[in-house]
Amino acid sequence: MRKILICMSLYLLLVSVACSSTNLMAQNSNNKIAKVESTVTKIYTAMVAKNKDVLEDLTFEKLSYGHSSGKIENKSEYVDGVLNGAFQFSSIIPVDQTITIAEDVAIVRHIFKGEGTNNGTPAKVNIGCLLIFQKDNGDWKLLARQAFKL
């Protein structure tokens, strides 16, 4: 009887450790997803506000930024386009966003809904977007973006 109690106690201990480990992994994953989501929000807020420092801080030097037109920009072209380009955003909202994390890479997909002016004329944007983030010194930074027409 004593052996049975010891075995049952060990079994319960193992189950408890396994459940705790699973909960910690889920919490860690949720924290990573929340940080990536926050970074997306910061980038879009910086695009609307034309905040050069934030845009430069949250993007890699080797950024590849693809537009739905097929145009590809590097980091300096992207930042200059946000600050001085023909299209000026008044709002950007990611819709139906999903975030998948694999090690130090995050894949973000959403519908990019934006409003603003294009050469002074009111305009709306409704495109699909794929963003690739990579962890850099504990922070998530944009490495690549590709937009596509819906």
pLDDT of residue 62: 98
- Mean pLDDT on 108-129: 97
- Mean pLDDT on 13-42: 71
First vs last C-alpha separation in the chain: 68
pLDDT of residue 14: 47
How far is it, in rounded angstroms, from Cα 25 to Cα 105? Answer: 17
The 3-state secondary structure of the chain, one letter per residue: CHHHHHHHHHHHHHHHHHHHHHHHHHHHHHHHHHHHHHHHHHHHHHHHHCCHHHHHHCEEEEEEEECCCCCEECHHHHHHHHHHCCEEEEEEEEEEEEEEEECCEEEEEEEEEEEEEECCEEEEEEEEEEEEEEEECCEEEEEEEEEEEC
Of 113, 101, 137, nearest to 44 by C-alpha is 113
Query: Is residue 13 scored above 70 in pLDDT?
Result: no
Query: Is residue 57 scored above 50 in pLDDT?
Result: yes
- Mean pLDDT on 106-119: 97
Residue 101 φ/ψ, nearest 5 degrees: -115, 130
